[in-house]
Amino acid sequence: MSLKDKVVLITGAAGNLGRAVAAAFAAEGATLVLMDVSEAGLRAAYPEQDQRMLLLAADLMQAASAQQAVKAALDKFQRIDCLCNVAGGFKMGPAVHETPAELWKLMMDLNAGTVLNMTQAVVPGMIAAGSGKIVNIGAGGGLKGGARMAAYSASKSAVMRLTESMAAELREQGINVNCVLPSVIDTPANRADMPKADPRKWVAPADLANVILWLCSDAARAVHGAAIPVNGLS
């Protein structure tokens, strides 16, 4: 599954899943463009760098910031072969009838808006090249609403619908678009928030990263518009 000649852009690269995805692609020889909102966070996550790695700080909830960061990546590497939209987040909320506009907007902007902004910045280059791979991060919680999770569930459902629409639009142009639907990911934050749960049943970031890696490989060239559950033992 060598990706030695591929340029892979990973958003949310300083987070737990972003670091695991970067490690998986690095192990296969890919050139990495690593984006996150904080330059300090990126440098802390990747203290050792080389010519096959570019760190870019950007607020991907802002279209102009996403466009600027992608331009910097293209200026250095000339193309982007794979886009992994890992950036996102989760917040519980109150009941639907009490949900503040600020929470709704945050979840939509953070989960669906970042996908939209990055897609608009990256896809024209993929169309020109006649090839590309895009993997979005949905969630099991996007399949069904839950109490006090309306904003998050709706935003992840939006990611799934964006994935399906993009796949229908781009498959004839050599671009695969798919998403993964993890359950609970085993991160320090989730362990702290759910101390009574059994993290052995959760999804290890490295395991989820391997699914993303496969979707960006030639082995998945016939897969378009899929939403792949990655549930661990939960």
The catalytically annotated residue of 111, 152, 155, 224 is 152
Q: How many residues does the chain have?
A: 234
Which amino acid is located at 156 in the chain?
K
Residues of the chain with pLDDT below 50 are none
Helix (H, G, I), strand (E, B) or coil at 151: helix
CA gap 67, 187 in Å, rounded: 30
User: What would the two tokens of residue 233 be?
Assistant: 């033992």
DSSP-derived secondary structure letter, 108: I
pLDDT at 95: 98
- Respond yes or no: is residue 46 known to be catalytic: no
Q: What is the pTM of this model?
A: 0.97
